[in-house]
Structure 1
Amino acid sequence: MTKTRDINVLITGMGPYPDGRGGRINPNTSHVVTTVLPKTLEPNTPRNPSAARIHITTLPEPVKTEYGHVRAFCRDLHARHAAADDDVDLFIHLGEARGWTWVTVERAAYGQGMSSSWWALWDRDAYYTIPDDAGQTIRDVGPSPWAGRVPLGLHPSFNVDGVCEGATALLDTLYRFGSGGSSSSRPGNVDAGNASDTFSSSSSHVQGMDNGKTVSTTNKPIEIRPHAEGGPYLCGFINYESLANRYVLNLKPNVLFCHVPGESDPTSLRRTADGLLAIVVAAVAQLQRTTTRE
């Protein structure tokens, strides 16, 4: 019997960013949540029903929310992992969507030069012209290195809607049988043992509204939604830059971008982490099906 190959996943989060009112949001929950993820999801367990052991790598520091930094970061990241025996099977970039109570997986990303009428953020229709954490816009960084080489719109190699459906099904099963609530009591990218270490029940409560009634969301999984694209700020930018580097290197665009809620209390982090781990497992399932067909 052929042994199932281990899967390696790299997850990044973003750093502090301007709040648009003269202040600064710090820390960025998209990085904070990476510090509570386990290093490993063991195979054939409730949280990872696949036959593959999944290794999760996170970065000690967040990715700076600066256009120039993100462009250089993505270039260096994919140059480093461009070997034929690539040691990363799935790249996931996270960004914060303050005010949202769900996790999204983005279907597409758009490059420098894009404009649209569906983002009315700060009265700008040109993408990446909102000042970053250094006070700069994409115009300060310079012309796009992708012009004429890479399509203006890119999408990942995954069926994003299918990933969301798979993640939702896994979360529903885990929470229904009392295994919901990813532990965030241990700092850092820690090892997880059995299923209860990562999806462990929580006794704390988060109150939400359901048709006007107050309900406990402690044992309700976070919602996972497919979403059109990451938007005209650093979230959309890192997604496109990451995909563009894969494109020019003629590598599979095995990149996902997820928006996470801004809440960083322990209970919220547990629910968000659970959602991210379920997304990882669902994406890995697609990777395995693709590999089998190839």
Structure 2
Amino acid sequence: MGSNNAYGGEEEINVLITGFGPFKQEYPHNPSWEIASRLPAVLPSLRAKQPSTVKPPFIPRVNLYVHPKPIHVAYKTVRELVPKLWARNFADSSSAPTTAETTSEEEQEAPRKSKYDFAIHIGMAGPQPRWAIERLAHRDGYALRDVDGEFLRDKDNQLRDDWVWKGCPTELRTDLDLDVILKKWRGYAPPEFQQSSSHGTDGAGDKAGAINGTEGKGRGGGDGGKAKGQGQNGSKDGTGAAKWYGNDIKGAKGDKLVISEDPGRYLCDFIYYSSLAELYKHKAERKVVFLHVPCEMGRDGEYVRIGQELVLGLVRSVAEWLVDEKKRRGGLR
């Protein structure tokens, strides 16, 4: 790593990445985990003939720390896990305990001394061939059962002084500039993902199955599930005229890499808000993003390979943005 590294010296960028586990019988292999679990430990160098750029910007070594297990699709699991994932960012490393508790499975793959510079949570969306980075997440409105058949039941706790999200706003947004990152990400994507139709923006009727939250209707609900009305909650009574997990997709009709404004008020939305809220409570910059991948990917090797390439392109795009921000602001971290 040379001195032209914008982070300076031997400093590195550390990235936390998570994926979800099986979703009932319909999805025994969650594509988010199929992708995340196969990522390399270090962001590879760009290929010599990378079409996106002639002279790529300098970034330091980027370490990818994938959570060692797929995350169980349950509110209780996510609520207990997320603070542990971020604990290293807020612990005093000089006084951190060295007991067996700190070497649990949640921490085994974490950087031993360094903080996470940003995080990418990956989850499963509808069958449309769109890959969406989410701009925001919601605190309330989780009316669907998780895979254990449990409701969140946060309304029972919101008036308690010890409620985990006491004082947090109903909506939290990432501090990453997704508009800039999206442009970079598209540049690093395979050619078939760089095409954009000029026929206008998507209407609600063009948005496909609401994998996240399909028993309700409206924002984050959806009318059906997959193309034939089956969603992530296992419901089979959808209309088939399904909306994607939200009503707000930023991009032209035909875009495959997009920004979404509504992650769906299910476990994807929930883990995203949980991470954003954990950073908010510590008055830290919310450098985290959620990536929705198509549910139809399955375990097909070629689709997983493409998924890996897209995730690595997203990692590089965020890392470049961080370096640019540090240059612009004179010492961001």
TM-score over 0.5 for the pair: yes
SS in structure 2 at match of 1:154: strand
Query: CA distance change for structure 1 residues 82 and 100 in 2, over 3 Å: closer, same or farther?
Result: farther
Are the equivalent residues in 2 in contact too, given 1:33–1:273 (CA < 8 A)?
Answer: yes
Partner of 1:189: none
SS in structure 2 at match of 1:138: coil
1:111 and 2:129 aligned? no
Partner of 1:152: 170
Deviation at 1:260, TM superposition (A): 0.9
Superposed CA offset, 1:127-167 (max 9, x none) = 22111011011117952535551111111111112211101
Are the equivalent residues in 1 in contact too, given 2:16–2:116 (CA < 8 A)?
Answer: yes
CA RMSD of aligned residues (A): 2.6
Distance 1:234 1:107 in 2: 16
Are the equivalent residues in 2 in contact too, given 1:67–1:141 (CA < 8 A)?
Answer: no
Deviation at 1:81, TM superposition (A): 2.7
SS in structure 2 at match of 1:36: coil
Deviation at 1:103, TM superposition (A): 1.2
SS in structure 2 at match of 1:55: strand
Are the equivalent residues in 1 in contact too, given 2:184–2:317 (CA < 8 A)?
Answer: yes
1:15 and 2:43 aligned? no
How many aligned positions are there? 231
Structure 1 runs (4+) greater than 4 angstroms displaced:
42-49, 172-176
Are the equivalent residues in 2 in contact too, given 1:43–1:54 (CA < 8 A)?
Answer: no
- 1:232-251 equivalences under 5 Å are 232-251=265-284
Partner of 2:309: 274
Partner of 1:28: 30
Are the equivalent residues in 2 in contact too, given 1:16–1:133 (CA < 8 A)?
Answer: no
Query: CA distance change for structure 1 residues 44 and 171 in 2, over 3 Å: closer, same or farther?
Result: closer
Distance 2:186 2:168 in 1: 33
Are the equivalent residues in 2 in contact too, given 1:43–1:53 (CA < 8 A)?
Answer: no
Partner of 2:293: 260
Query: CA distance change for structure 1 residues 174 and 87 in 2, over 3 Å: closer, same or farther?
Result: farther
Partner of 1:137: 151
Superposed CA offset, 1:232-278 (max 9, x none) = 11000000011000000111111110001221201111111111111
Distance 2:274 2:305 in 1: 29
**Identity rate of aligned residues, in percent?**
27
| Residue identity in the other structure for 1:58 | V
- 1:1-294 equivalences under 5 Å are 1=3, 2-3=8-9, 5-18=11-24, 23-42=25-44, 49-83=57-91, 86-112=114-140, 127-139=141-153, 143-144=157-158, 145-172=163-190, 223-262=256-295, 263=297, 264-292=299-327, 293-294=329-330
Q: Which runs of 5+ in 1 are unaligned?
A: 113-126, 177-221
Deviation at 1:99, TM superposition (A): 0.6
Query: CA distance change for structure 1 residues 132 and 175 in 2, over 3 Å: closer, same or farther?
Result: closer
SS in structure 1 at match of 2:78: helix
Deviates more, 1:271-280 or 1:138-147: 138-147
SS in structure 1 at match of 2:147: coil
Query: CA distance change for structure 1 residues 69 and 170 in 2, over 3 Å: closer, same or farther?
Result: same
Q: Which runs of 5+ in 2 are unaligned?
A: 51-55, 93-112, 195-254
RCO higher in 1 or 2 (8 Å CA, sep ≥ 6)? 1
Superposed CA offset, 1:173-230 (max 9, x none) = 7999xxxxxxxxxxxxxxxxxxxxxxxxxxxxxxxxxxxxxxxxxxxxx932111121
Distance 2:314 2:286 in 1: 17
TM-score, L = length of structure 1: 0.71
